[in-house]
Amino acid sequence: MAWAAPLVCEMVMPVRPARRPLARGRPLRYLVALALLVALLVTGPLALRWWTNHRFGPLIYSVATAPRRRVAIVFGAGLWPDGSPSPILADRVSTAVALYERGAVDKLLMTGDNRHLNYNEPGAMRAYAGALGVPEDDIVLDYAGRRTYDSCYRARHIFGVTDAVLVTQAYHLDRALFTAHHLGIDVVGVAADQRDYAQIRYYWWRELAATTVAYWQVLVTRPEPVMGEPLPIFDEGVSEQGPQRRPAPS
């Protein structure tokens, strides 16, 4: 029947739902959220750097004014191809030796990387300090100080360090102080800057990311580095200020 054709068509043809208009404000909200995320990624590390320097900058002294501690922790910083210390590392070692000669510390803990047979930061640091007159008995080596966090963690838990002078360059020193402090060491710092260094701007910018990682490790994850048997630098029963090798001049 002719009259049934339109009815059949109506029955078999699907009815498309009406499209809802896109919310005009949604793309703007996405852009605002993205802008806030970018701002957080940029300002967050800057804020951490500012706070770290603000909080730990007052703990930085010169060789002449550093308060007495039992140990100077000297951080590794790279070697030349012939195995000798880089300028940054040489200045760290010589600054620690100056503290030792002044009587501000009794022992030098040389902590650095020795993952490969032909790369030995602590050994090179010991040789350099020995050439400057430090007796071998007053030099302690940590061969697994691959990062600042590792060096500070092992200083506390392997070598039993409870108080120390941290020796490194200014760009690195406040992060090292933050790390050691939160790992339970009573610390002050001495900056080892003795000259202009190549790529120093790069090192300062790198600290933005490194400081952010340090906060994450120290306050959140607390990873355990390469460990081993305890090797305390001082015998049990040593006084808080350690053996008095010779008093620091007033």
pLDDT value at position 115? Answer: 82
pTM of the shown model: 0.79
pLDDT value at position 33? Answer: 61
Class of domain 56-221: alpha beta
- Sorted by where each begins, the domain ranges of the chain are 56-221
pLDDT value at position 179? Answer: 96
Give dist(CA 139, CA 126) in Å, integer.
Answer: 7
pLDDT value at position 16? Answer: 61
pLDDT value at position 35? Answer: 57
pLDDT value at position 152? Answer: 97
The sheet carrying 163-168 orders its strands as 60-61, 186-191, 163-168, 71-75, 107-111, 139-142
Which contacts qualify for 212-221: CB closer than 8 Å, 24 or more apart?
Answer: 212/44, 212/45, 212/48, 214/148, 214/149, 214/175, 214/178, 214/179, 215/48, 215/178, 217/149, 217/179, 218/149, 218/178, 218/179, 218/182, 218/183, 219/182
Give dist(CA 99, CA 108) in Å, integer.
Answer: 9
What are the average pLDDT values for consecutive 10-residue runs of the chain, which has 250 residues?
49 57 60 58 76 91 97 95 94 98 97 88 96 97 95 96 97 96 96 92 88 92 91 66 39
pLDDT in tens, 234-246: 985 333 444 344 3
pLDDT value at position 237? Answer: 36
SS (H, E, C) 99-147: HHHHCCCCEEEEECECCECCECHHHHHHHHHHHCCCCHHHEEEECECCC
pLDDT value at position 47? Answer: 83
Note the residue count of the chain.
250
